[in-house]
Amino acid sequence: MHPRNAIARLAVAAALACATLTLAQPAHAAGPYERGPDPTDALLEASRGPFSTSEERVSSLVRGFGGGRVYYPDDTSQGTFGAIAISPGYTASWSTLDWLGPRLASHGFVVIGIETNTRYDQPSSRGRQLLAALDWLVEDSSLAVRRRIDPSRLAVAGHSMGGGGSLEAADDRPSLQAAIPIAPWNLTKNWSGVRVPTMIIGGESDSIAPVATHAERFYESIPASSEKAYLELNNASHFFPQITNTTMAKSMVAWLKRWVDDDLRYDQFLCPAPQGLAIEEYRDTCPHS
């Protein structure tokens, strides 16, 4: 046999063996916290996810925060869920963000939207209240859903001073699995101590917490060794979270699924960088470790 033919046959055999090995191995092994069907753009962009939800009021008499509302999936067959606490902004109530409660819960999370102790609480106070709300939810709540919350899979988010508060909470409690500051405002600009996977969402036209002095600076100050993302919405004002925002919700769900649920199916919506008319800029620490 001619040496060149022998080499060619060996190359073909090696390629076939490699292909057979690839086919024999599953593309993705299901993780223990995967909830819901395989995700698609249509699923994440819909007004509701795959789970029906319920909600309950939280009394203002609780300790550490000002009460609020809890939203949770009705399905009791899914095992435990991760939980996220969300704070409104300066002078605002939870009602300004309440569309987010059922939206996130319908993708398999327990959500507590908090009222703050006063409308004028600063970010450091809001950060402590977010953590108090999570502690109440998993330790002191009499809600039946408490037994279905995994206390090791918790997250925080917030708008404006609430977003600044979510950075405070992430800095104070590195065991959190995710943080999502939205149009965040904070006088502190250096967050080099944050180790929690953090997605910062800013608005290009925000004149109250301009991205150049807030969201972008916060993102840049978080070390590259921490998982982080920066999403800037095209032509969005400071108040973009107060009305239904599909791009924001889609990104939040993907980030929470990836880091709270360790659901690798959602990496495709984060890496490579998502694009669209609503997105002015996106940065990320892809590929995720």
In a domain, 289, yes or no: no
Residue 11, domain member (yes or no):
no
| Closest of 284, 266, 260, 269 to residue 82, by C-alpha | 260
Please check the confidence at residue 27 and state whether its pLDDT lies above 70.
no
Residue 75, pLDDT score: 94
118-132 tens-digit pLDDT: 999 999 999 999 999
The residue-averaged pLDDT of 61-68 equals: 97
- Give the helix ranges, DSSP H, for 184-245: 215-221
pLDDT at 21 over 60: no
17 residue type, one letter: A
Asked if 171 and 98 touch (Cβ cutoff 8 Å), the reply is: no
**Residue 133 sits in which domain range?**
35-284
pLDDT of residue 30: 75
Look at residue 205 and tell me whether its pLDDT is greater than 80: yes
Active site residue 107: no
- Residue 28 domain-assigned (yes or no): no
17 found inside a domain: no
The CA distances from residue 117 to 28, 168, 180, 200, 222, in Å, are 45, 17, 21, 25, 29
Query: Does 1 map to a domain?
Result: no
Query: So what's the pLDDT on residue 31?
Result: 87
Q: Does residue 10 lie in a domain region?
A: no
Look at the alpha carbons of 134, 140, 141, 144 in this order and tell me if their dihedral is positive or negative.
positive
Residue 29 lies in a domain: no
**Residue range 163-197, pLDDT digits in tens:** 999 999 999 999 999 999 999 999 999 999 999 99
The residue ranking higher by pLDDT, 200 or 26, is: 200
pLDDT computed for residue 52 by the predictor: 98
CA proximity to 47, closest of 243, 233, 181? 243
Q: What is the pLDDT of residue 29?
A: 62
**C-alpha separations of 213 from 117, 152, 232 in Å:** 27, 33, 13
CATH of the domain at 65: 3.40.50.1820
Q: What is the pLDDT of residue 7?
A: 40
CB neighbours of 124 closer than 8 A, spacing ≥ 6?
165, 168
Active-site residue, from 135, 206, 263, 284: 206
Instruction: Find the range with the poorest average confidence among 6-20, 61-75, 80-94, 146-160.
Output: 6-20
Confidence band for 28, pLDDT divided at 50, 70 and 90:
low
**Taking 80 as the threshold, does the pLDDT of residue 1 lie above it?**
no
- pLDDT score, position 6: 43
pLDDT of residue 129: 98
Mean pLDDT over each residue of the chain, to the nearest integer: 92
Average pLDDT score over residue span 235-245: 98
Q: Report the alpha-carbon distance of residue 256 to residue 172 in Å, rounded.
A: 19
Please state, for a pLDDT cut of 70, what percent of the chain lies above it.
Answer: 90
Q: What are phi and psi of 132, to 5 degrees?
A: -65, -40
Residue 259 belongs to some domain of the structure: yes
Cβ-based neighbour number of residue 55 at 10 Å: 14
- Residue 159: C-alpha distances to residues 41, 113, 120, 147, 201 (Å): 25, 11, 14, 28, 9
206 among known catalytic residues: yes
Tell which wins on pLDDT, 29 or 105: 105
pLDDT number for residue 289? 81
Q: Which of 160, 166, 251, 284 is the catalytic position? A: 160
Q: Which of 124, 238, 263, 284 is catalytic?
A: 238
Domain count across the chain: 1
Q: Is 238 a catalytic residue?
A: yes
> Is the pTM higher than 0.95?
no
